[in-house]
């Protein structure tokens, strides 16, 4: 099962075997890259390690996975309504979003992107949070919203955190291209809330903090009630899923009879304790050594957009060094570390879809100033395509193994997996491979991979609405009033009121009459 090479009849399902004019060279290349191909035994061991690390983390034992309790015990039920601000921080750009919900549907989503400079991403954390608050102020100004306006906020913070409640979480470590060491261990909701207050926005209340995978799961569930898993395959990678609450031992504060709770796995760190070192190649070690966060986020370095291009570059470089690639080209043309982005991987892979053409690969090589028939020939193209396919297929396989472990953990047989992220959206074969591989790994499950775009933004609005619903319900329970229905309705009205307030005072703003947004 899950073997790597195949032929054209597989409908591009597998990686085409490498055939070169020079058969000996093909054999050498294949020999050099064979460690990128996982055996069935390794596949099983990765799945087993993931399963065990999940259980250990839930039992509060040593694990590379966080399995973080998000304190979100339910998915959207169609009653979500109100107007919310959302902050979405996770990449080099961050977004502020104004969302309006009614009957579980988005009426409006208005947003603006803000660039985060290197200084802010890699400097003192206080400055980063002050910058976030300045951007909120700018956004409110653009939307004619008074700074003292009372409005709930959802904070999508796509980094590993230790959550204490729905609205309190400490940063465990930065990932991707962020590294402001002084923020590690701090409550990021408090930092944000303090900065907002300091900048005059005293009435914005950060109701919830969530990860982009949680947002994707929640948005996925809004679109398709069978959604139980949210996944991001983008610059970073991670998944969240709906777990039985009785399996979750870490629970700060009171329980209120919750049956389920969303768990943020933080699978990017899978393997940080060495449990999957048996798949680690020399190339992976080299990528790790050159990365911002060494010896951390092992799994992410096999699968995510921040790293896939670099893995391919490092492997190609090793082939050059062995004189198996670009024998005629100048060494200066070869891209420097981290200069071969994952977009190139997707482009090269496009050729595999077009009857093994060369067009996209040639375009990529053009970008680096290589000249066909002078610096490289047909065989070089085939070696590049083969390498790119092997690295991509390994990523698809690893993600599929973990997805299948999650599916097999659930009692439901019909499950939708909501996915978002640049790698998932732009890699031409990844989704196809995943569907096939998950089918092979979880034959008894009927699953569906569904693109849930912008879960990181929309999810913040949905989770804010859910947070308000839960808060109201818990207050009612505490006060001895168990009439949830009334509590929710009453609450809904209150939120509607806020929505009306927004519309009444700033009509047209959320419609984007100033032309800033409408980006969906």
Nearer to ligand BGC, 173 or 360 (CB): 173
Using the rule CB under 6 A, is 160 a contact of ligand BGC?
Answer: yes
Using the rule CB under 6 A, is 307 a contact of ligand BGC?
Answer: no
Q: Which residues contact 429 (CB under 8 A, 6 or more apart)?
A: 12, 349, 352, 353, 389, 392, 396
Residues forming beta bridges with residue 114, ordered by sequence position = 94
DSSP string for 431-487: HHHHHHHHHHH-TT-EEEEEE-TTHHHHHHHHHHHHHHHHHHHHHHHHTT---HHHH
Among 76, 215, 220, 236, the residue binding ligand BGC under the rule CB under 6 A is 236
Among 12, 64, 70, 158, the residue binding ligand BGC under the rule CB under 6 A is 158
In whole angstroms, what is the distance from residue 224 CA to residue 435 CA?
Answer: 18
Using the rule CB under 6 A, is 301 a contact of ligand BGC?
Answer: no
Q: Which has the closest alpha carbon to 291: 280, 306, 273, 278?
A: 306
> Which helix or strand (DSSP H or E) is residue 63 part of?
none
Residues forming beta bridges with residue 115, ordered by sequence position = 93
| Strands 237-244 vs 161-165: parallel, antiparallel or unpaired | unpaired
Among 109, 300, 310, 380, the residue binding ligand BGC under the rule CB under 6 A is 300
Q: How many CB atoms lie within 10 A of CB 225?
A: 13
In whole angstroms, what is the distance from residue 319 CA to residue 325 CA?
Answer: 6
Contact 381, 19 (CB under 8 A): no
CB of 299 to ligand BGC, least distance (A): 10
CB of 90 to ligand BGC, least distance (A): 5
Nearer to ligand BGC, 12 or 238 (CB): 238
Q: Which stretch binds ligand BGC (CB under 6 A): 117-125, 211-219, 248-256, 491-499?
A: 211-219
In whole angstroms, what is the distance from residue 76 CA to residue 178 CA?
Answer: 31
Using the rule CB under 6 A, is 175 a contact of ligand BGC?
Answer: yes
Among 66, 70, 163, 238, the residue binding ligand BGC under the rule CB under 6 A is 238
Among 209, 232, 316, 510, the residue binding ligand BGC under the rule CB under 6 A is 232
Give start and end residues of each alpha helix (H) in 80-201: 118-122, 125-142, 188-198
**Interface size with ligand BGC, residues (CB under 6 A):** 17
Among 73, 215, 234, 492, the residue binding ligand BGC under the rule CB under 6 A is 234
Among 168, 213, 227, 400, the residue binding ligand BGC under the rule CB under 6 A is 213
Q: Which has the closest alpha carbon to 437: 32, 43, 41?
A: 43
CB of 230 to ligand BGC, least distance (A): 9
Site string for ligand BGC, 79-108 (x = CB under 6 A): -----------x------------------
Q: Which stretch binds ligand BGC (CB under 6 A): 48-56, 69-77, 152-160, 329-337?
A: 152-160
Using the rule CB under 6 A, is 230 a contact of ligand BGC?
Answer: no
CB of 86 to ligand BGC, least distance (A): 15
Nearer to ligand BGC, 90 or 461 (CB): 90
Nearer to ligand BGC, 76 or 268 (CB): 268
Q: Which stretch binds ligand BGC (CB under 6 A): 209-217, 248-256, 447-455, 470-478?
A: 209-217
In whole angstroms, what is the distance from residue 108 CA to residue 504 CA?
Answer: 15
Q: Which stretch binds ligand BGC (CB under 6 A): 8-16, 61-69, 230-238, 479-487?
A: 230-238
Q: Which residues contact 334 (CB under 8 A, 6 or more apart)?
A: 316, 317, 320, 326, 368
In whole angstroms, what is the distance from residue 44 CA to residue 39 CA?
Answer: 9
Among 12, 66, 195, 211, the residue binding ligand BGC under the rule CB under 6 A is 211
Using the rule CB under 6 A, is 176 a contact of ligand BGC?
Answer: yes
Among 73, 220, 268, 455, the residue binding ligand BGC under the rule CB under 6 A is 268
Among 50, 159, 270, 376, the residue binding ligand BGC under the rule CB under 6 A is 159
Nearer to ligand BGC, 202 or 250 (CB): 250
Site residues (CB under 6 A) for ligand BGC, limited to 413-442: none
Nearer to ligand BGC, 461 or 492 (CB): 461
Q: Using CB atoms, what's the residue nearest to ligand BGC?
A: 236
Q: Which residues contact 401 (CB under 8 A, 6 or more apart)?
A: 43, 46, 47, 50, 437, 441
In whole angstroms, what is the distance from residue 64 CA to residue 74 CA?
Answer: 26
Nearer to ligand BGC, 158 or 346 (CB): 158
- Token pair, residue 482, equals 């168990």
> Which helix or strand (DSSP H or E) is residue 495 part of?
helix 484-505
CB of 212 to ligand BGC, least distance (A): 5
Phi, psi of 79 (to 5 degrees): -100, 0
Report helix, strand or coil for 5: strand
In whole angstroms, what is the distance from residue 43 CA to residue 80 CA?
Answer: 41
Using the rule CB under 6 A, is 237 a contact of ligand BGC?
Answer: yes
Q: Which stretch binds ligand BGC (CB under 6 A): 71-79, 156-164, 274-282, 319-327?
A: 156-164
Q: How many CB atoms lie within 10 A of CB 9?
A: 6
Q: Which stretch binds ligand BGC (CB under 6 A): 7-15, 206-214, 479-487, 499-507?
A: 206-214
Binding region for ligand BGC (CB under 6 A)? 90, 158-160, 175-176, 211-213, 232, 234, 236-238, 266, 268, 300
């Amino acid at each position: 099962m899950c073997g790597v090479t195949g032929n054209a009849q597989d409908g591009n399902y597998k990686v085409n075997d490498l055939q070169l004019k020079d058969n000996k060279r093909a054999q050498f290349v294949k020999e050099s890259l064979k460690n990128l191909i996982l055996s069935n035994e390794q596949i099983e061991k990765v799945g087993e390690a993931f399963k065990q690390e999940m259980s250990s983390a839930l039992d509060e034992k040593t694990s590379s996975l966080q399995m973080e309790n998000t304190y979100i015990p339910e998915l959207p039920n169609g009653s979500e309504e109100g107007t919310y601000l959302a902050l979405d921080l996770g990449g080099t750009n961050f977004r502020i979003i104004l969302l309006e919900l009614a009957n579980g549907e988005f009426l409006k989503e208005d947003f603006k992107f803000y660039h985060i400079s290197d200084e802010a991403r890699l400097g003192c954390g206080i400055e980063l949070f002050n910058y976030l608050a300045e951007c909120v102020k700018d956004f409110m100004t653009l939307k004619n919203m008074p700074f003292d306006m009372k409005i709930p906020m959802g904070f999508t913070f796509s980094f590993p955190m230790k959550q204490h409640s729905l609205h309190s979480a400490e940063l465990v470590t930065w990932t991707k291209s962020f590294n402001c060491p002084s923020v590690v261990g701090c409550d990021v909701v408090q930092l944000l809330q303090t900065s907002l207050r300091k900048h005059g926005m005293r009435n914005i209340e950060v109701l919830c903090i969530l990860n982009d995978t949680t947002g994707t799961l929640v948005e996925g569930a809004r679109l398709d009630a069978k959604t139980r898993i949210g996944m991001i395959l983008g610059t970073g990678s991670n998944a969240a899923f709906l777990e039985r609450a009785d399996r979750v031992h870490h629970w700060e504060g009171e329980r209120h009879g919750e049956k389920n709770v969303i768990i943020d796995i933080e699978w990017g760190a899978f393997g940080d304790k060495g449990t999957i070192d048996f798949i680690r190649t020399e190339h992976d070690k080299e990528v790790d050594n050159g990365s911002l966060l060494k010896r951390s986020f092992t799994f992410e370095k096999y699968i995510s957009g921040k790293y896939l291009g670099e893995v391919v570059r490092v492997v190609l470089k090793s082939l050059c060094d062995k004189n198996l690639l670009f024998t005629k080209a100048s060494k200066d043309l070869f891209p420097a570390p981290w200069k071969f982005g994952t977009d190139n991987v997707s482009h090269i892979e496009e050729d595999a879809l077009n009857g093994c053409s060369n067009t996209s690969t040639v375009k990529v090589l053009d970008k680096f100033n290589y000249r066909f028939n002078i610096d490289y020939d047909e065989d070089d193209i085939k070696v590049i395509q083969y390498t790119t396919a092997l690295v991509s297929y390994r990523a698809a396989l690893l993600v599929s193994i973990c997805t299948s472990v999650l599916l097999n953990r659930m009692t439901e047989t019909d499950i939708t997996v909501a996915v978002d992220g640049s790698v998932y959206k732009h890699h031409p074969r990844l989704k196809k491979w995943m569907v096939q591989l998950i089918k092979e790994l979880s034959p008894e499950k009927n699953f569906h991979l569904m693109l849930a775009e912008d879960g990181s933004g929309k999810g913040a609005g949905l989770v804010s609405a859910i947070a308000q619903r839960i808060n109201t319900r818990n207050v009612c329970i505490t006060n001895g009033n168990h009439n949830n229905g009334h509590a929710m309705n009453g609450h809904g009205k209150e939120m509607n009121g806020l929505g009306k307030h927004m519309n009444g005072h700033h009509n047209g703003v959320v419609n984007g009459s100033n032309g800033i947004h409408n980006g969906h």
